[in-house]
Amino acid sequence: NEGSMEALSAKLERIFKENVKPNSYLKIKSGWFGQKVEIDSIFDSSEETAELEDELKDDGNKHFLSSKKNQLHDLYSELFYNDETKLNFIDKSNRYEFSLKGFTAIDDEGVYVIEFNPKRSADFRGTIYVNIEDFAVMRIDYENVNSLKRIKLLGFSYEEITYKGTTIFSKGSNNKYDLRFIDKVFGRKMGVRRPLSVIEKNKYVKGRRKQNELSMELDIVNFNTEKYELVVFDSELISNGEFSNSAENETVKATYLSSYNPEFWEGYDIMEPNKAIREFTVSDK
């Protein structure tokens, strides 16, 4: 992909290697900001980067456990009743309009179907399913209607453009509700729009120190979308002592697939992969 960051980096490296003289250094400027860089450090860093990439490929599962734990922590902390949540349509209900749309059943429990929409500049719209008997929230479908965060500074931009999903709770044998399912999509947009000039200087050659200059206008936009699905098959209340003495299985390894492979699941006693998994494929774009 000629428009990718990898392609741009490779092109710049090729230009430097073909045109920069020995013992030169670079003056990199973007607006008011400037930095002197020794040319040898660029070539050395590219070699170190290649070595690091090879090392990461060889040990791709090293941080798998900690990564999954952090993701689970984030998913749970963003439930609508927690302080860290972005979902404010219950905590700040005065910012939303609620309307009863009907009745249905979830897990053989009758529920109210309540639709909510933003007043003025509130962030979300969606549907809440509330148990008729005990008024517990059993399901929430939500999606943002505004960007949740937008930052622009000195040509750099960051915007949270997508935040939508479904959360389902079910009543256990103790008549308390536990999390059963999370489906969340989180999308971000990041950009750089700044001038950039790279000036080659060399104090060991006759004449002026300035040898070559490369000028460009950077206009880079990156879209990143993350999709999470969590299914809780069972839950059990344990004591603090049991939790402290529990041992994590740190030998679990991840298998990364570029597309859905039905043979991968043979021999596993699991639920059938959903449509999103069956249609999954990795894109180079």
| pLDDT tens, position by position, 225-256 | 999 989 888 888 889 998 888 888 777 777 77
Instruction: Reply yes or no on whether the pLDDT at 42 is more than 70.
Output: no
Q: Which of 42-46, 136-140, 211-215 has the lowest mean pLDDT?
A: 42-46
Q: Which amino acid is at 172?
A: G
Q: Which of 39-48, 58-67, 191-200 has the lowest mean pLDDT?
A: 39-48
| pLDDT tens, position by position, 122-131 | 999 999 999 9
Q: How many CB atoms lie within 10 A of CB 112?
A: 16
Q: What is the mean pLDDT of residues 7-23?
A: 74
Instruction: Reply yes or no on whether the pLDDT at 193 is more than 70.
Output: yes
Instruction: Reply yes or no on whether the pLDDT at 215 is more than 60.
Output: yes
**Among 139, 134, 154, which Cα is nearest to 32's?**
154
**pLDDT score recorded for residue 35:** 78
Residue 97 to residue 6: CA distance in whole angstroms? 47
Q: Helix, strand, or coil here: 82?
A: coil
More confident residue, 60 or 24: 24
Residue 63 to residue 250: CA distance in whole angstroms? 10
Q: What contacts 148, CB < 8 A, 6 or more positions away?
A: 86, 123, 160, 163
CA distances (Å), 137 to each of 22, 81, 103, 159, 189, in order?
69, 10, 14, 30, 32
Residues linked to residue 167 through DSSP beta bridges, in sequence order: 140, 182
More confident residue, 133 or 28: 133
Residues in the chain: 285
Structure-token pair, residue 35: 């930095």
Q: Which amino acid is at 280?
A: F
At 223, give phi and psi (nearest 5°): -110, 130
